Amino acid sequence: MNYADKTDIEDRIGRKLAEAEDKMCLSLLEEAAAIVDGINPNASTDSKKLVSIRMVSRAIGYSPDGVPMGATQGTMAALGYSQSWTIGGGSAGELYISKLEKRMLGQKGRIGFASPLEVNND
């Protein structure tokens, strides 16, 4: 079950998807739903939809200025034709969930550890 559809993605990225992107979009929406359900199947439907839209938009969309969505740093040059981008949580074209999106799905940040030296002999 997908939580978003192609129209949601087009609205988010601000353009119509090319014919070749249609199949990819549907496949990514299915994958996003599986990832979202893996994190919290009991999250609200609205949260699941928004997170799915954000994930897929990052994977296939670019902002109007040519910067990949989700980029945290970037460099452009002119006559030497150089571009460089740093993606915060994954890589361009990859589905990933940001810290904010994890919180939206109800996953709290946890800190923990396990010590292999301490054994419980109960």
DSSP for the chain, please give it. --SS-HHHHHHHHTSPPPHHHHHHHHHHHHHHHHHHHHH-TTS-HHHHHHHHHHHHHHHH-B-TTSPBTTEEEEEE-STT--EEEEESSS-TT-----HHHHHHTTPPP------TT-----
User: What is the domain partition of the chain in residue ranges?
Assistant: 6-104
Whole-angstrom distance between the N-terminal and C-terminal Cα of the chain? 45
Where does the pLDDT of residue 80 fall: very low under 50, low under 70, confident under 90, or very high at 90 and above?
confident
Query: Using one digit for the tens of pLDDT, what is the confidence trace for 23-53?
Result: 899 999 999 999 999 999 999 999 999 999 9
55 vs 39: CA distance, rounded Å: 14
56 vs 41: CA distance, rounded Å: 18
- Between these two residues, 65 and 96, which has the higher pLDDT value? 96
Tokens representing 90?
């994954």
| Single pTM value for the model | 0.68
Residue 116 has pLDDT above 80, yes or no: no
